[in-house]
Amino acid sequence: MECPICGSDNITVLKSKETSAKSKHINDYLLRCNECEHVFKDRVTQKNPISCRLIVSENENSKKTSINLYPDEVLKCGEVLLADDGQVKVNSIETREGRRDSALVSDIKTIWATSLEIPARIGLSIDFGGKVKSYKLDLNRDFEINTNDIIRIEDYTLKVHIIKTGSKKLSTGSARADVIKRVYTKPIDLKTYDYNLTDNIVQINFKDDYY
Ligand SMILES: [Zn+2]
């Protein structure tokens, strides 16, 4: 809001009043400019929120729900929304014209999102020189794994070689569990380790080849 006389945005709200009409929300303000002391009225009108279809994935499961959003706001992929069951991150937005990276809320058909209230599920592979043992692990979303970390799992001590995230393969550096897809490790002959992830195992697979 700006002063209509001097154009300053250094404004004090003297009074405000909210009115809810059928499809909109009206805020009336009595304002004073701190530069020229002019007192004036202003009105901000916002359309009432509308219900959008929301599909939240929690690992293998997905749940249909809905969320109320303002129709004249723009929603972008990557944004975090507060849904009924907690925070979700928007992965994909479907409009009548197809999938979009961002869209006006009133154009949205369905929002696809991932729950941020559940642990991150990552894969971990142990390369036994041809045979691969593979795990699914649930980790805190902000748990950080570095290349060269020494991990204990069951009776194995492992060294991290490669961390694969959604967008790249890291042979040096680190990543948070919520972006990691899979960690590639090799067994090493050590008794000490940085951390033990045995309690985080949710699934184990043995395979005779790489994948
Ligand atoms: Zn002014």
**Per-residue pLDDT at 207:** 65
Dist. CA 24 → ligand 1 center (Å): 29
Q: Which of 38-42, 93-97, 189-193, 207-211 has the lowest mean pLDDT?
A: 207-211
Query: 2: CA distance to ligand 1 center in Å?
Result: 8
Q: What is the pLDDT of residues 168-183, one digit of tens each?
A: 999 999 999 989 999 9
Planar angle of CA 195, 201, 205, nearest 5 degrees: 120
Residue 47 DSSP SS3: strand
Minimum mean pLDDT range among 33-42, 57-66, 144-153, 195-204:
57-66
- pLDDT at residue 24, as a whole number: 83
What is the spatial distance between Cα 92 and Cα 101, in angstroms, rounded to a whole number? 7
- Among 36, 85, 43, 34, residue whose Cα is nearest residue 64: 85
Distance 73 CA to ligand 1 centre (A): 30
| pLDDT-derived band at 211, boundaries 50, 70, 90 | very low
- Domain-by-domain residue ranges, the chain? 11-47, 50-115, 120-207
**Cβ 126 vs Cβ 185: under 8 Å:** yes
Query: pTM of the predicted model, to two decimals?
Result: 0.65
pLDDT digits (tens, 9 = 90+) for 43-74: 988 888 899 999 999 888 899 999 999 998 99
Among 2, 59, 66, which residue's Cα sits nearest to residue 33?
Answer: 2
Ligand 1: distance of its center to the CA of 43 in Å?
Answer: 17
Contact 14, 31 (CB under 8 A): yes
